[in-house]
A and B are shown apart, each in its own frame.
Chain A
Amino acid sequence: GQNIDQPTEMTATEGAIVQINCTYQTSGFNGLFWYQQHAGEAPTFLSYNVLDGLEEKGRFSSFLSRSKGYSYLLLKELQMKDSASYLCAVRDRSGAGSYQLTFGKGTKLSVIP
């Protein structure tokens, strides 16, 4: 992933639904990952998409459109503990010929009461 864009910050209300978008430009696409990172902590894996469509995992869902270079992470029934940065990461073929993961700068989500 040589160019990954996602909003810098978002704010949403507890109990609501929020969608975090990610667009990317790459060649040799081999999957898109979403990670959650709380302040001062390491990222933790949330979801993985390699084919077009929606992957659902509890309150979190992730969507991918390869033709549009677009993904989103959908968080339902927001809780205060969901306040964190959400990182979009694209796996593609690096210059050395191996597949590597490139991360976006992350979207800082603030959940307010």
Chain B
Amino acid sequence: SQTIHQWPATLVQPVGSPLSLECTVEGTSNPNLYWYRQAAGRGLQLLFYSVGIGQISSEVPQNLSASRPQDRQFILSSKKLLLSDSSFYLCAWRRSGNSPLHFGNGTRLTVT
């Protein structure tokens, strides 16, 4: 069976510090990978998606970036965090076609 791992579960970072959130998927090959953000009381916002190694599409321009160095690894980064980056970040994967998204457990990021 397929599993998705996302870490850390919680993170407190000062303004201006860098960020690296990691996500890996097991039990499948060539998954479509996604990073979403969910602010309190708001819907899920798609940040980045990737259909293959090194292929990253950005949906919302901001101070975040994503990379896919390996087939089943997806990384969300920032060089300098802003207070407004505080949110719940979710990694997700799915197969191609009409298959549903499957989410990791999420990372709650607080920027202080």
Query: A and B from one assembly?
Result: yes
Residues of A within 8 A of B (CB): 4, 30-31, 33, 40-45, 48, 50, 87, 89, 91, 94, 96, 98, 100-106
**In the complex, how many angstroms separate the beta carbon of A21 from the nearest chain B beta carbon?**
16
A33-B101, A101-B46 known, 4 other contacts, Cβ within 8 Å: A4-B43, A43-B44, A45-B102, A105-B43
B44 lies within 8 A of A103 (CB): yes
A42 to B90, CA, bound (A): 7
A69 to B101, CA, bound (A): 21
B43 lies within 8 A of A31 (CB): no
Chain B contact patch, size range: 10 to 19
Stretch of B68-76, B79-87, B103-111 contacting A (4+ beta carbons < 8 Å):
B103-111
Checking A30, A42, A104 against B103 with a beta-carbon cut-off of 8 angstroms, the contacting residue is A42
What A residues does B100 contact at CB under 8 A?
A: 33, 45, 48
B43 lies within 8 A of A104 (CB): yes
Checking A31, A41, A94 against B98 with a beta-carbon cut-off of 8 angstroms, the contacting residue is A31
Find the A residue at minimum CB distance from B58. Answer: A96
A50 to B99, CA, bound (A): 11
B51 lies within 8 A of A102 (CB): no
B43 lies within 8 A of A50 (CB): no
